[in-house]
Amino acid sequence: MRDVAILGVGCTDVGEHWEMSIRDLLFKASRKAIDDTGLDDIRKIEGLYVGNMCSGLIQGQEHLGALMADVLGISGVPACKVEAACASGGMALHQGVKAIASGLQDFVLVAGVEKLSDASTPEATSALMMAEDSEYSAYVGASFVGLNALIHRLYMKEFGVRAEHIAAFAVNGHNNALNNQYAQYRFQTTAEKVLASPLVADPIHLLECAGNGDGAAALILCPLERAKEYSDEFIEVAASSVATDVFSLTERADMLSFNASRLAAERAYGSAKIGPQDIDVLEVHDAFTIVGTISIEDLGFVKKGEGAKFVHDGNISLDGKLPTNTFGGLKARGHPVGATGIYQIAELVWQLRGRAGKNQVEDAEIGLAQNVGGIGSTASVHILRRTW
């Protein structure tokens, strides 16, 4: 198996892109990623993997792999859409890494895209709920925010956690998004303002939820041994891992831990031959503040039940023990579902290159990204490392 490197990254800003189609977003992000490399000929790209969840239902457009190849002018290469709910981006990257590591392909483009603004809020809510059990949970009218509200309330009860402790996750994201030119919500907030925002599903407030957004992000992968031929700022993919859990939240033995995240993290740490203590910068899937809080625990950074206090005490700030979601996370950078996992990787690459601007984490050499599909039904964990 070959080691894998990321040569280039690119993304669009996250927002409501009324003037752009899904193919426009894909093209813009992909061209940025290609231009970020020293790749002299786009025809060297031998494979395309596109992370997306909702294009079939919302845009009436599937077959995004072939569409993307055509738009880029490289029809003929193998290409496909990869779907794993909100973890579609992380899963697409996992497929791209395997293609390079196996020796089947030398240059691969991995992209993620979503355009939720083409749907009304009820339509988007229904589309996203397809990530849970449609014959049970969705059928009875449950929504994603409703199910996460159950977890949120249970977490507070089980561990004696106050609402303001969990709200601190949103505050951190908004603080970091201020200096991110691609972020959807570039404003600061406080725990008091978060908890004063309208309740969406008690006890979750509006400012504890990632909003709907459009966006695309892309990466170029190649064998690590060849990366120096094309870039002086390549980043190694030290580990790529994906795991699943019992599909429906209501059938799990423990609702306060995502086993998929724990398994994927254990495998990733083993593959990279490191532990949680070696991570300099972290990207976690904070679609809701409670998901980000539990993810800190599942990835092995603190014990179960201690995540909220860890966050509230400032440990995930840019100058804290574990700088987390340094460009705003899903909450403030935005959550263009199928592209989210790729945005996370692009942001880690900027950190490890030392090109994160005002959000730069000092001496960042190793980063971890966790991307979750459904309510923890799927999780990808990638570890990136600077080797120069």
Catalytic residues, by residue number, are: 86, 335
Q: CA-to-CA distance for 39 and 47, rounded, in angstroms?
A: 15
3-state DSSP: the chain helix, strand, coil percent, rounded to 5?
Answer: 45, 20, 35
8 A C-beta contact, residue 27 and residue 20: no
Q: CA-to-CA distance for 68 and 70, rounded, in angstroms?
A: 5
Q: What single-letter amino acid sits at 333?
A: R
Largest Cα–Cα distance of the chain, in whole Å? 58
Half-sphere exposure of 220 (CA within 13 A, CB side): 29
User: What is the number of other CB atoms lying within 10 angstroms of the CB of residue 131?
Assistant: 26
H helices within the chain, ranges in order? 22-35, 64-72, 88-101, 121-128, 144-159, 163-177, 191-196, 259-272, 289-298, 307-312, 329-332, 340-353
Burial grade of 126 (CB within 10 A; 0-12, 13-18, 19 or more): middle
The conformation of residue 203, written as its DSSP 8-state character, comes to T
Half-sphere exposure of 132 (CA within 13 A, CB side): 22
8 A C-beta contact, residue 382 and residue 267: no
Q: Which pairing describes strands 79-82 and 47-51: parallel, antiparallel, or unpaired?
A: parallel
Q: CA-to-CA distance for 58 and 119, rounded, in angstroms?
A: 6
Q: Specify the 3-state DSSP secondary structure of 116.
A: helix
Query: Angle at Cα 132 formed by Cα 214 and Cα 56, nearest 5°?
Result: 45
Half-sphere exposure of 235 (CA within 13 A, CB side): 28
